[in-house]
C-alpha cells in the first residue's frame, strides 16, 4: 500500500451532536493497531449555521469550515464524507455525495422510508462508484458488550435462539413542554420513536439474533398530541411517541421490541436479551461495560446468570480503550471511534462495511412492515423471507 493511499482526508456535513461524535471518532481512529501510520486529516466541515461550523472546526481541528455542501464535494482532495443531518435531507444530500464518487458514512436512518432507502442503494451501486464505500452508522453494534452477545450466539454457545426481547427507552420528549421540532413532524422525520430510537434496537436484533423475517403485530402510540414551538405556536404531533412490535428473527425465534421517547427515568437505554436452548445472555447500555450470560446444566445450588466485565477479548475494545486492560471500560464515544475505524479499514482494504447501505435499507423495510402490520392488523412477512 502506498503512502498516498494511507492518507485519508475527511469532510463532515452537519456539525450538530451526531456530527461532532463523528469528528471525535476520526480524531481518535489511529488508536487501532491496524491503522497505525494512517493519516486521518479533517479537511472541511459545513453546517447551515455558520457559527456552529466554525466552532466545530476550531475545536476538532478541521482545516476549513463553511455552509456550502457543494463546495465541500467539489474539493478533489477530500476522500470520504460523514453526513449527520435531519432525516428529510438524507435523500438529497446523500445523493449528491454518492454522485461525487467519495466514500460516505452517514447517520441512520437511510432516508425516511424503504422507498428512499432503495433509491440510495441504487445510487450507491451506480457506475462510477466501483470501490467506493457506503456505510450507515449503527454505532451500538460497536459496543464490546453487544459484540460479545453476538459472538455467543454465532459460536453456538447458547444453542439455537428460541426467543428474545429488546427495548430502547429514552426520556428526551417526556416533558410535554419540550418544544416542537422536526422530530415530531412525520413529514420531516419519516416517523417518531421507532425510526429515531427503535431502529437501533432493530439493528441490535439483526446483529445478534439474525435477519428479521416477519412482523407479527405492531402498535404505535402518540401520548402527547400537541406541542408548542419556541415561538409559542402550537403544532400537532404527527408521529409516534412509543411503539411495540412482535416479530420473528433468525431461525424462527420470536421476540418483542418496545421503544419510547417519553419514558421517565430512562435518559437513554438500549437493552437486548436472548434465550437459547443451552442458555441466555443480555446486555444493557445502562451497564455499558458488562454483560450477563447463563449456561444451563450447572449445579442447581449455584445456578444463575453471571456478570462478565468486558475487556480486550470483546469486540472493538482493544482498538478503542485508552488502557487495554479488562475492567478499565469504554463509553459511548468509543463506539463512534470503532465505527470510524471500521469505515477507514474498508476504504483502505477495498471491502464493504457490515452496515452498508444495502443492510441499512433492510432496517427501513422493517419499519415499513411494522407500519403496515399496525395499519392492517395482521402479520407482514418481509420480502425474501418466504411465504
Mean pLDDT of the chain: 96
pLDDT category, 158, cuts 50, 70, 90? very high
- Return left, alpha or beta for 318; rule: phi > 0 is left, psi -120 to 50 is alpha, else beta: alpha
Q: Which domains does the chain have, with CATH numbers?
A: 4-139 (3.40.50.720), 141-354+363-376 (3.30.360.10)
pTM summary value: 0.95
For 14-56, what is each residue's pLDDT tens digit? 999 999 999 999 999 999 999 999 999 999 999 999 999 999 9
d(CA 164, CA 275): 6
Chain centroid, CA 303 distance in Å: 35
For 269-320, what is each residue's pLDDT tens digit? 999 999 999 999 999 999 999 999 999 998 888 889 999 999 999 999 999 9
The reported pLDDT for the residue numbered 384 is 72
pLDDT category, 5, cuts 50, 70, 90? low
d(CA 208, CA 278): 16
Please name the residue ranges forming H helices in the chain.
Answer: 17-27, 50-60, 69-73, 90-99, 114-124, 144-154, 186-189, 193, 199-208, 317-320, 332-349, 357-376
For 321-358, what is each residue's pLDDT tens digit? 999 999 999 999 999 999 999 999 999 999 999 999 99
Signed CA dihedral, 77, 316, 3, 128: sign only: negative
SS3 (DSSP) at 65: strand
Inter-residue contact 245 to 215 (CB < 8 Å): yes
Residue 386 has pLDDT above 50, yes or no: no
pLDDT category, 247, cuts 50, 70, 90? very high
Cis peptide before 109 (omega within 30 of 0): yes
d(CA 380, CA 368): 10
Amino acid at each position: 500500500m502506498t503512502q498516498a493511499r494511507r492518507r485519508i482526508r475527511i469532510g463532515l456535513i452537519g456539525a450538530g451532536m451526531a456530527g461532532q461524535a463523528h469528528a471525535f471518532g476520526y480524531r481518535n481512529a489511529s488508536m487501532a493497531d491496524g491503522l497505525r501510520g494512517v493519516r486521518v486529516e479533517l479537511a472541511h466541515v459545513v453546517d447551515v449555521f455558520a457559527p456552529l461550523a466554525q466552532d466545530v472546526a476550531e475545536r476538532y481541528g478541521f482545516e476549513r469550515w463553511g455552509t456550502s455542501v457543494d463546495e465541500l464535494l467539489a474539493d478533489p482532495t477530500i476522500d470520504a464524507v460523514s453526513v449527520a443531518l435531519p432525516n428529510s435531507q438524507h435523500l438529497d444530500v446523500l445523493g449528491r455525495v454518492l454522485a461525487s464518487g467519495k466514500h460516505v458514512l452517514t447517520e441512520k436512518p437511510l432516508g425516511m422510508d424503504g422507498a428512499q432507502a432503495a433509491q440510495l442503494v441504487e445510487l450507491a451501486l451506480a457506475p462510477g462508484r466501483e470501490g467506493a464505500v457506503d456505510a450507515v452508522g449503527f454505532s451500538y453494534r460497536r459496543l464490546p458488550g453487544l459484540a460479545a452477545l453476538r459472538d455467543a450466539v454465532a459460536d453456538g454457545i447458547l444453542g439455537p435462539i428460541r426467543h428474545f426481547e429488546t427495548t430502547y427507552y429514552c426520556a428526551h420528549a417526556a416533558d410535554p413542554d419540550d418544544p416542537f421540532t422536526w422530530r415530531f413532524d412525520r413529514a420531516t422525520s419519516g416517523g417518531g420513536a421507532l425510526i429515531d430510537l427503535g431502529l437501533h434496537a432493530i439493528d441490535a436484533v439483526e446483529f445478534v439474533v439474525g435477519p428479521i423475517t416477519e412482523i407479527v403485530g405492531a402498535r404505535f402510540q402518540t401520548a402527547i398530541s400537541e406541542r408548542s414551538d419556541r415561538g409559542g405556536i402550537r403544532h400537532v404531533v404527527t408521529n409516534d411517541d412509543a411503539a411495540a412490535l412482535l416479530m420473528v428473527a433468525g431461525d424462527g425465534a420470536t421476540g418483542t421490541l418496545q421503544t419510547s421517547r417519553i419514558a421517565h427515568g430512562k435518559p437513554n437505554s438500549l437493552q437486548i436479551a436472548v434465550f437459547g436452548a443451552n442458555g441466555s445472555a443480555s446486555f444493557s447500555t445502562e451497564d455499558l461495560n458488562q454483560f450477563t450470560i447463563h449456561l444451563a446444566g450447572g449445579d442447581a445450588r449455584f445456578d444463575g446468570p453471571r456478570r462478565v466485565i468486558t475487556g480486550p477479548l470483546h469486540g472493538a475494545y482493544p482498538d478503542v480503550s485508552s488502557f487495554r486492560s479488562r475492567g478499565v471500560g469504554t463509553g459511548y464515544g468509543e463506539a463512534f471511534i470503532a465505527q470510524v475505524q471500521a469505515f477507514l479499514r474498508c476504504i483502505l482494504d477495498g471491502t464493504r462495511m457490515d452496515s452498508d447501505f444495502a443492510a441499512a435499507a433492510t432496517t427501513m423495510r422493517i419499519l415499513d412492515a411494522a407500519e403496515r402490520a399496525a395499519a392492517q392488523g395482521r402479520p407482514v412477512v418481509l420480502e425474501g423471507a418466504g411465504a
